[in-house]
Amino acid sequence: MQRLITSFAALAALSLSVVVASAQTKSGIDKLYILNCGEGVAGDISRWSPGLNVGKSMDFVDNCYLIDHAQGWMLWDTGVADAIAAMPDGQAPADPRMTRWRRPKTLASQLDALGVKPADIKYVAVSHTHPDHIGNVELFPKSMLLVQKAEYEWPNPTGVGRFKPEHPVTKLEGDHDVFGDGSVMIISTPGHTPGHQSLLVKLPKTGALLLTGDAVHFRSNWENRGVPENNADKEKTLASMQRMADLLAKEKAQLWINHDKAQRDTLKMAPEFYD
């Protein structure tokens, strides 16, 4: 009897380890690259945290993130337009308090250096439709766009749509599990724009990362819960920041702030990667 119990316990332990192993290998995510999608100088950072640091300028960066998944490549944000790379002084903003963007490297050249062709990109997801995030969407005319319906349908002051009508698109209404394995989750974070979204990525070794988009612009802006003066909705912005804080705690995730140069200076850029 004792022997039977022992072998039963061994069998149970074995089947448990099989279950654990299959749960661990279920995720198809492999690695994440950070691409340089712009560098700039913000004229007055009190635009983003009203009343604080009035008149103070700050260096900004703009990142794109390339995800290698067994089901295909995904690009998160496309940065400022590659055409800006040809402008030695960068592109001056309409409002000098905003950001003058330069492009030290094109997005196309960085993908090429990694051996990735635009046609290889299965999904292009953008945090929102400001020009420093959608500048190169049409480099990927066949890639499936993942964008919130509220953002897609947000009226554009120029009277035309925010995307080419013929571009394949999945219009999302809330959170979305991109590959169906929980490794890459689009998180709805409205406020900066009506359909703003952020991205939760769960890497095998690095662990969980929350990519902000522009739900927050730089570290002190996050800490003081600054709501930029031109945001679409102040209350939704604050609710989204709280949701992100809760998610960081629940997932034990790192917060990667897209435009924060001080943070990005501590991170590895492509061709190095996070796995």
CB-nearer residue toward Zn ion: 69 or 196: 196
**What x-and-dash track marks residues 74-113 binding Zn ion by CB under 5 A?**
----------------------------------------
Residue choice 77, 132, 151, 260 for contact with Zn ion (CB under 5 A): 132
Told to check if 151 binds Zn ion by CB under 5 A, we report no
DSSP 8-state class, residue 244: H
Q: How many residues bind Zn ion (CB under 5 A)?
A: 2
Q: How far is the CB of 132 from Zn ion (least distance, A)?
A: 4
Task: Determine the Cα–Cα distance for residues 144 and 123; give it in Å rounded to an integer.
Answer: 5
Burial state string for 153-186 with b = 16 or more CB within 10 A and e = fewer than 16: ebeeeeeeebbeeebebeebeeebebbeeebbbb
Q: How far is the CB of 50 from Zn ion (least distance, A)?
A: 17
| Of 148, 141, 145, 155, residue with least CA distance to 198 | 148
Q: How far is the CB of 125 from Zn ion (least distance, A)?
A: 15
Site for Zn ion in 206-225 (CB under 5 A): 214
C-alpha distances (whole Å) from 171 to each of 99, 146, 152, 168, 206 are: 29, 6, 7, 10, 30
**Residue that the structure tokens 């703009």 belong to:** 62
Q: How far is the CB of 131 from Zn ion (least distance, A)?
A: 8
Per DSSP, what are the bridge partners of residue 61? Answer: 39
CB-nearer residue toward Zn ion: 214 or 260: 214
Q: Which residues bind Zn ion (CB under 5 A)?
A: 132, 214
